[in-house]
Structure 1
Amino acid sequence: METPQIFTTALFFEGQDEKLWPRRLLHVPSMTSVEREGEHTYLGVQKPDYNILSYTWGRYKISDGPTLQVKNIGWDIQPIDPLRFTVEDLETTLRVVSHGKPFIWIDIACIDQENYEVKMDEIGRQAGIFYNAKDAFIWLHGSSTQQLQRKFDHFFQLVARLDGEAVEEIAFDENTTITNNWEPDDAASEIFIGENTFLPHCIRDLDWINDMQRCLSGIIGDVWFSSLWTLQEASLRPDAWFISKEGSVIPRKGYAEVALMNLVHGMGEIERHLSKALYMNRPEEDHALDVVLPSLKVLESIVQRVGLGGWENPSTLYGSARFRECIDPLDRIYGIMQIFGFRLGAACDPSREYTLDNLEHQFATRINAGSPIMGQLFVHTEPVDLGKCWRISQNSHIRTALRLMSTMTLNLAQIRLDDSEQPVFAGPACDFRQIAQQWTMAEEKNEGWPFWGVDGAVHFIALDENEYWYSRIPEDLRHIETENFALNQSLSNLLLEISEDELQILLLGQLLDPEDEEEAFPPTMPGCVGILVRRVVFRERVAWQRLGLCVWAMDASREDTEGLWRTVEYALA
């Protein structure tokens, strides 16, 4: 095993040339697609400033109609249903996106849509193309400027109530207006979670919850939020500005225009408080919160389906991708791989044909090679075949609290392919019985370690859905959320009763506090991550089937018991 290394998602780009320049840029004044000369020269200009546009168009192609006229291209630009947007709408938008710069990048004018090899090479350059753009814009061509301004203003006002910042003006008559300041999220709240962790009042206000559901649904109802390719573009340029059907930026009261990051921040705030309300320990008798829990779960599902935020976690991204629309199933991988700097499948070798299974295998291999924690921080929500349990799939899911965790990790193991292209775990392992006993003793003596923002955290087990799960785990222990320590202890006890000695924990590494110095070890918040596995026979050899994910946090000195961890090299199933 190599020396343990601290990993951040920025290292996915290590060894990648993320600054590759596009093959073509559109020169807006002359509406000419200009091919690159050398590494980064266009019309004699080296490294020109250019802006970039993210929008949706593929699903609105029609067989006949007016098209955008672009010079110096050898492919046909497909006409678009004018009920969605007209050529004139697009031309106006391109001039807005140009924003005083002669060059922009837009896919239909800069990617040869009929040359597969060129197209796939350019798909493998998306990170560089978006990275090099000066400014980025998102065209929400389904709504007018006025409609979008109204929706966003309402959204930001609702979000502000989470921090007690919102102000409401109530007009009683022509001469009387009362300003109502919402109560802040402070100790006066009647809802508390854990120690010194309070929920804002609006979280138990059904009117606020329903209002937020309607508002958020109205915003993400635009087709841009349902496109798979825009999920990648959003993650590459979260600073992009929204523009309306008319090609106007969206004003915001008291601020600059509305950017994607404003929306991402707001949705992150919603998700953070939803996590506290839905999953952390709370008083058993809290009828006001119990009443709104079903509505809070609906709101949570809306936020998670959109997939904004959590971009640094591959499991989150791939899970969100299944809710997005695409024409080619292979785009489930091609449409998000550049978020992590990957060039997979035909983007590397267009001479071969690939299946989605081939691409998932490559995707999982690359993620686990970078960080086995990031490659395993998920649960399967549907059974998968032996041989694929170790890798993420379209039905992978990451629990809410884990979505919000640090993406800085300390790798203590490796998951790689052997000479026969089979996955192998190399690193520390221990019998499940031994580590479970440590958890129990720590729990009994309240020797947990502060983690997930909760004092006394000990452990959490998230099981994959498979035949083991269905046949041996009762309903009340199948979907335990992170902070329900009592049920997690019950699950540990059950596994000890039914598993005999067939279960082991493979230690992947630790989740670190990003505010720590990189050389700080042990970390101040030692969240250990491992996978729960059992011995099986696969392809006529002994292998270890992943059953789920384990995260635990307790005083590291407790784990120094001699002989607890041993170094192994296991085939994974």
Structure 2
Amino acid sequence: MDYPFVHGRLPYGWLDVPVYWPQRLIHIPSMTSISRDDGNIYKYKDIMAKEPEYGTLSYTWGRWRVKDKPDAPPVLPIKNTPWQIPAVEEAHFTTENFQKVIQNIHKSGVDWVWIDVGCIDQRRGSTQAAVEIGRQASIFKQAKSTFVWLSRLDCIQLAQAIDDILDYGGQLYDHIDIGIEGVDFDNVMDKLQTVSEYLFSDPWFSSLWTLQEIVLRNDAIVLSTEGESVPWKVARQDQRTYMTMLINHCQNVYTSLEKAIEKTKTVYSEQYPEKTMNAIQRVKQLILQVGFYYLFSTNPNVQFGTARYRTTKRAEDRIYGIMQIYNLCVGRSARPEENPSMEELVIEFAAAINYNSAILGQFFVHVSRPKRGYTWRITEESTVPNSLIMYRDPNDMATINVDLDENCIAAGKCCQLPMLLSAAKEAGDIAPSHAVDGWGLKFEILLDNHINDAASFNAANQQHFMERRNSGTEIDLKDVLVLWLGNVQAEFSYRSNTYFRRNVGLLLSVQNHNTGEGVLHYERLGIAVWTTGEKSTPFEVPIRSIPWEWYDQLVLK
């Protein structure tokens, strides 16, 4: 197969992150930025090290950069950079505290550190900067340790916030999950809302760059304004707070809150006061917005959907600041001599994801109506339902490629949607123990949000139809094509000592059915998922009996 080329040059991205040593590292004892040579040796005067162990720092500062002011605050005293170290508003953080952070990294046993202001060329239009940004995944992944600096939260208050999250989160679990009586639930929710709003107020939680960095290294150590590590009380002993611990705890809180809401939906259940319900929704919202509920998901589309809550200084950083979660390098980071527009960058990024995996490229649901002609393209206005959060061991059976004219062409096995619906219904009748809501195969239709839910999916009635929202246009099920994208690893089967597979089908509707055009164009409606296991299992027979037909020129719009 020929590689698709971006503007006729480089293939779209890569799946495995190559090992790149940083172009520069800071030698902490001398506060010197030192470039590496071709042998990965960092040498400056009497300092020399080959491939040294180093740490990385995740923090945010770009929104508070001070430019061309005579009374600008002092800058971090890093020597030997060809560029001027940028000054930052002291209301965000002081140079004194920045130095304390670096010294505390040094105290942890690290002599070398990668910090962007001293290791990435800060001069406008630098090609070195574009290349280094494209290598951040490698830089963070091979670091000995990573630190997160919450520059607006002082050590005492941050430590208290961690204690409160542990305490009140534990009380929430005891009351909701275990059913312990005597817990003042209203007070617990009030305290959780207060501490969550305080903790997540730090600008680190609103930066898109830091979202990418914490996905790459969720084992980062948390540092306060003063650069101090924050204690986490475990088994009567204090230890340093790692982001992994905080993320895991936030996930537990979110899960308990979902259970609390479910308990209010029964007829005889206790209803919470309005203030408490508002607190539940607010804490859930905060956890979702910072990306902590699904951060351990193996589907990176989860984080891309979260990116809409994060801030970047430049529009194009909405791609550059998230691309390495996908192990991709696109745009100027791949081709420093070029500077694609935002629209070109978005298309290239989405095309790269689909090229590497048609499953991953479509493993999401549109939240709002996508741009006409680009329904195949993921955007920040997307979400990932629970059934799609795990993306492991993909087996792609279809391809989706974008050519130089930006035509998106798919190829693979297809069937009409009524065939798949009938097979799913039959599988449910054969093996009711495997059925979910009357369907076998754990069959599920996930429509994009601008398409109305169709009651026909629950009845498998081929005469029913779907409607596009806000248009009233009917879509006959017989005109909906299912492109079998492939499958990913699902839950484990102890009976067969192997994993089930979750299959993915892309739902496509003909756009120009009666226009007389020679090539049919298809619009994405959503996806279908169903689970399969052993081939000998009776409930798989209906799926295997579908006469899947190969299509090699599906033009997606």
Partner of residue 198 from structure 2, selected from 209, 213, 218? 218
Instruction: Say if 1:357 and 1:314 are closer, same or farther in 2 by CA, change over 3 A.
Output: farther
Following the alignment from structure 2 to structure 1, what is the Cα–Cα distance between the partners of residues 492 and 82?
52
Specify the alignment match of 1:50 in structure 2: 54
Instruction: Say if 1:393 and 1:310 are closer, same or farther in 2 by CA, change over 3 A.
Output: farther
Instruction: Say if 1:567 and 1:319 are closer, same or farther in 2 by CA, change over 3 A.
Output: same
Matching of residue 76 in structure 1 with residue 84 in structure 2: yes
Give the deviation of 1:212 after TM superposition.
2.7
Matching of residue 124 in structure 1 with residue 151 in structure 2: no
Instruction: Say if 2:407 and 2:555, in contact at 8 Å, map to a contact too.
Output: yes
Matching of residue 398 in structure 1 with residue 384 in structure 2: yes
Greater shift in the superposed pair: 439-448 or 383-392 = 439-448
Give the letter aligned to residue 50 of structure 2: Q
Partner of residue 249 from structure 2, selected from 263, 266, 269? 266
Gapped regions of structure 2 (runs ≥ 5): 2-12, 467-473, 533-537
Following the alignment from structure 1 to structure 2, what is the Cα–Cα distance between the partners of residues 251 and 407?
34
Instruction: Say if 1:534 and 1:498 are closer, same or farther in 2 by CA, change over 3 A.
Output: closer
Report SS of the residue matched to 2:113.
strand
Following the alignment from structure 1 to structure 2, what is the Cα–Cα distance between the partners of residues 282 and 431?
41
Instruction: Say if 1:429 and 1:567, in contact at 8 Å, map to a contact too.
Output: yes
Partner of residue 489 from structure 1, selected from 435, 458, 465? 458
Instruction: Say if 1:386 and 1:545, in contact at 8 Å, map to a contact too.
Output: no
Following the alignment from structure 2 to structure 1, what is the Cα–Cα distance between the partners of residues 367 and 184?
29
Following the alignment from structure 1 to structure 2, what is the Cα–Cα distance between the partners of residues 342 and 140?
28
Instruction: Say if 1:310 and 1:403, in contact at 8 Å, map to a contact too.
Output: no
Instruction: Say if 1:290 and 1:245 are closer, same or farther in 2 by CA, change over 3 A.
Output: closer
Matching of residue 285 in structure 1 with residue 267 in structure 2: yes
TM superposition score normalised by structure 2? 0.82
Following the alignment from structure 1 to structure 2, what is the Cα–Cα distance between the partners of residues 228 and 318?
10
Specify the alignment match of 1:31 in structure 2: 31
Matching of residue 322 in structure 1 with residue 331 in structure 2: no
Specify the alignment match of 1:197 in structure 2: none
Matching of residue 110 in structure 1 with residue 119 in structure 2: yes
Deviations 1:485-514 (A, max 9, x none): x89616977437951521122122223137
Specify the alignment match of 2:154 in structure 1: 144
Deviations 1:276-295 (A, max 9, x none): 6668x998535337877765
Give the deviation of 1:563 after TM superposition.
3.8
Give the deviation of 1:333 after TM superposition.
0.6
Instruction: Say if 1:428 and 1:455 are closer, same or farther in 2 by CA, change over 3 A.
Output: closer
Following the alignment from structure 1 to structure 2, what is the Cα–Cα distance between the partners of residues 88 and 396?
41
Specify the alignment match of 1:91 in structure 2: 99
Give the deviation of 1:528 after TM superposition.
2.2
Percent identity, please.
29
Matching of residue 353 in structure 1 with residue 339 in structure 2: yes
Specify the alignment match of 1:303 in structure 2: 287
Specify the alignment match of 1:502 in structure 2: 479
Give the deviation of 1:49 after TM superposition.
1.4
Partner of residue 429 from structure 1, selected from 407, 411, 414? 414
Following the alignment from structure 1 to structure 2, what is the Cα–Cα distance between the partners of residues 248 and 562?
63
Instruction: Say if 1:410 and 1:510, in contact at 8 Å, map to a contact too.
Output: yes
Instruction: Say if 2:299 and 2:390, in contact at 8 Å, map to a contact too.
Output: no
Specify the alignment match of 1:336 in structure 2: 322
Instruction: Say if 1:410 and 1:511, in contact at 8 Å, map to a contact too.
Output: yes
Structure-to-structure mapping, 1:237-252, within 5 angstroms: 237-252=217-232
Instruction: Say if 1:310 and 1:317, in contact at 8 Å, map to a contact too.
Output: no
Report SS of the residue matched to 2:240.
coil
Partner of residue 527 from structure 1, selected from 480, 502, 511? 502
Give the deviation of 1:265 after TM superposition.
1.1
Instruction: Say if 1:561 and 1:109 are closer, same or farther in 2 by CA, change over 3 A.
Output: closer
Report SS of the residue matched to 2:485.
strand
Following the alignment from structure 1 to structure 2, what is the Cα–Cα distance between the partners of residues 183 and 429?
46
Specify the alignment match of 1:371 in structure 2: 357
Specify the alignment match of 2:7 in structure 1: none
Give the deviation of 1:84 after TM superposition.
2.0
Give the deviation of 1:104 after TM superposition.
1.0
Give the letter aligned to residue 109 of structure 1: G
Instruction: Say if 1:33 and 1:149 are closer, same or farther in 2 by CA, change over 3 A.
Output: same
Deviations 1:58-99 (A, max 9, x none): 111223221122211111122211222211111111111222
Instruction: Say if 1:235 and 1:311, in contact at 8 Å, map to a contact too.
Output: no
Instruction: Say if 1:294 and 1:222 are closer, same or farther in 2 by CA, change over 3 A.
Output: closer
Following the alignment from structure 2 to structure 1, what is the Cα–Cα distance between the partners of residues 301 and 176?
37
Instruction: Say if 1:425 and 1:183 are closer, same or farther in 2 by CA, change over 3 A.
Output: closer
Matching of residue 567 in structure 1 with residue 513 in structure 2: no
Instruction: Say if 1:490 and 1:563 are closer, same or farther in 2 by CA, change over 3 A.
Output: closer
Specify the alignment match of 1:133 in structure 2: 143
Following the alignment from structure 2 to structure 1, what is the Cα–Cα distance between the partners of residues 498 and 259?
24
Instruction: Say if 1:203 and 1:277, in contact at 8 Å, map to a contact too.
Output: no
Give the letter aligned to residue 74 of structure 1: P
Instruction: Say if 1:287 and 1:562 are closer, same or farther in 2 by CA, change over 3 A.
Output: same
Following the alignment from structure 1 to structure 2, what is the Cα–Cα distance between the partners of residues 521 and 365?
37
Greater shift in the superposed pair: 431-440 or 26-35 = 431-440
Give the letter aligned to residue 119 of structure 1: A
Following the alignment from structure 2 to structure 1, what is the Cα–Cα distance between the partners of residues 541 and 281?
37
Specify the alignment match of 1:459 in structure 2: 443
Following the alignment from structure 1 to structure 2, what is the Cα–Cα distance between the partners of residues 262 and 135?
16
Deviations 1:127-172 (A, max 9, x none): 11112211111111101111111111111233334654xxxxxxxx
Structure-to-structure mapping, 1:432-443, within 5 angstroms: 432-443=417-428
Instruction: Say if 1:150 and 1:339 are closer, same or farther in 2 by CA, change over 3 A.
Output: same
Give the deviation of 1:428 after TM superposition.
2.0
Instruction: Say if 1:296 and 1:425 are closer, same or farther in 2 by CA, change over 3 A.
Output: farther
Following the alignment from structure 2 to structure 1, what is the Cα–Cα distance between the partners of residues 323 and 181?
40
Give the deviation of 1:121 after TM superposition.
0.5
Give the deviation of 1:416 after TM superposition.
2.2
Instruction: Say if 1:289 and 1:129 are closer, same or farther in 2 by CA, change over 3 A.
Output: farther
Specify the alignment match of 2:540 in structure 1: 557
Following the alignment from structure 1 to structure 2, what is the Cα–Cα distance between the partners of residues 248 and 113?
27
Report SS of the residue matched to 2:305.
helix
Give the letter aligned to residue 217 of structure 1: E
Following the alignment from structure 1 to structure 2, what is the Cα–Cα distance between the partners of residues 382 and 203?
40
Greater shift in the superposed pair: 54-63 or 142-151 = 54-63
Matching of residue 415 in structure 1 with residue 424 in structure 2: no
TM superposition score normalised by structure 1? 0.80
Following the alignment from structure 1 to structure 2, what is the Cα–Cα distance between the partners of residues 448 and 536?
39
Give the letter aligned to residue 34 of structure 1: I
Gapped regions of structure 1 (runs ≥ 5): 2-11, 165-181, 190-199, 479-485
Aligned length: 512
Instruction: Say if 2:419 and 2:546, in contact at 8 Å, map to a contact too.
Output: no
Matching of residue 511 in structure 1 with residue 488 in structure 2: yes
Q: CA RMSD in A?
A: 3.5
Following the alignment from structure 1 to structure 2, what is the Cα–Cα distance between the partners of residues 373 and 209?
39
